Chain A
Amino acid sequence: MTTTPRYTADEMMTVTAARFLTTEMACFVGIGLPSTAANLARRTHAPNLWMIYESGTLGAKPDTLPLSIGDGILAETADTVVSVPEIFNYWLQPGRIDIGFLGAAQIDRYANINTTVIGDYSDPKVRLPGAGGAPEIAASCREVIVIVRQNSRTFVESVDFVTSVGHGKGAGQREQLGLTGLGPTRVITDLGVLEPEPRTRELTLASVHPGVAVDDVRATTGWELQVAPDLAVTAEPDEAELSVLRSLTGS
Chain B
Amino acid sequence: MIVPLDEGIRELVHDGDTVALEGFTHLIPVAAGHEIIRQGLRDLTLARMTPDIVYDQMIGAGCARKLVFSWGGNPGVGSLHRFRDAVQNGWPAPLEIEEHSHAGMANRYVAGASGIPFAVLRGYTGTDLIAQTPDITTITCPFTGEELTAVPALTPDVAIVHAQRADRAGNVQLWGITGVQKEAVLASRRALVTVEEVVDRLDPVPGQVLLPARVVTAVAEAPGGARPSYAHGYYARDNDAYQQWDAVSRERETFEQWLRTEVRGNARPAREGGRT
Instruction: Spell out A's residues near B (CB within 8 Å).
Output: 31-32, 54-57, 67-72, 74-75, 81, 83-85, 88-89, 92-93, 116, 121, 124-136, 139-140, 161-165, 168, 173, 177-180
CA distance A128 to B97 in the complex (A): 13
**Looking at chain A's contact residues, is the secondary structure mostly helix, strand, loop, or mixed?**
loop
**Is A179 touching B177 in the complex (CB atoms < 8 A)?**
no
Interface size class of B (residues with CB under 8 A): 35 or more
Among B101, B107, B126, point to the contact of A179 (Cβ < 8 A).
B126
Name 14 extra pairs, CB < 8 A, besides A89-B106, A178-B122: A55-B25, A70-B75, A70-B177, A72-B236, A74-B177, A75-B232, A93-B121, A124-B88, A127-B88, A129-B80, A131-B102, A133-B102, A163-B128, A163-B129
Among B49, B79, B179, B230, point to the contact of A128 (Cβ < 8 A).
B79
**Is A88 touching B126 in the complex (CB atoms < 8 A)?**
no
Q: Does B124 belong to the interface (CB within 8 Å)? A: yes
**Is A69 touching B79 in the complex (CB atoms < 8 A)?**
no
Of B24, B25, B100, most buried by chain A (CB within 10 Å of CB) is: B25
| A57 CB, min distance to chain B CBs, angstroms | 7
Q: Give the residues in chain A near B100, CB-CB below 8 Å.
A: 131
CA distance A126 to B88 in the complex (A): 7
26 contacts between A and B (CB under 8 A): A31-B75, A55-B25, A67-B239, A68-B25, A68-B76, A70-B25, A70-B177, A72-B176, A72-B230, A72-B232, A75-B232, A81-B178, A83-B183, A84-B180, A85-B110, A88-B102, A127-B72, A130-B72, A130-B73, A132-B50, A135-B103, A136-B103, A140-B122, A163-B128, A165-B125, A179-B125
Q: Does B99 belong to the interface (CB within 8 Å)? A: yes
10 interchain residue pairs of minimum CB distance: A70-B25, A129-B73, A132-B71, A165-B126, A88-B103, A85-B106, A131-B101, A136-B103, A84-B180, A127-B87
Q: Give the residues in chain A near B80, CB-CB below 8 Å.
A: 129
Q: Does B165 belong to the interface (CB within 8 Å)? A: no
Q: Give the residues in chain A near B103, CB-CB below 8 Å.
A: 88-89, 92-93, 133, 135-136
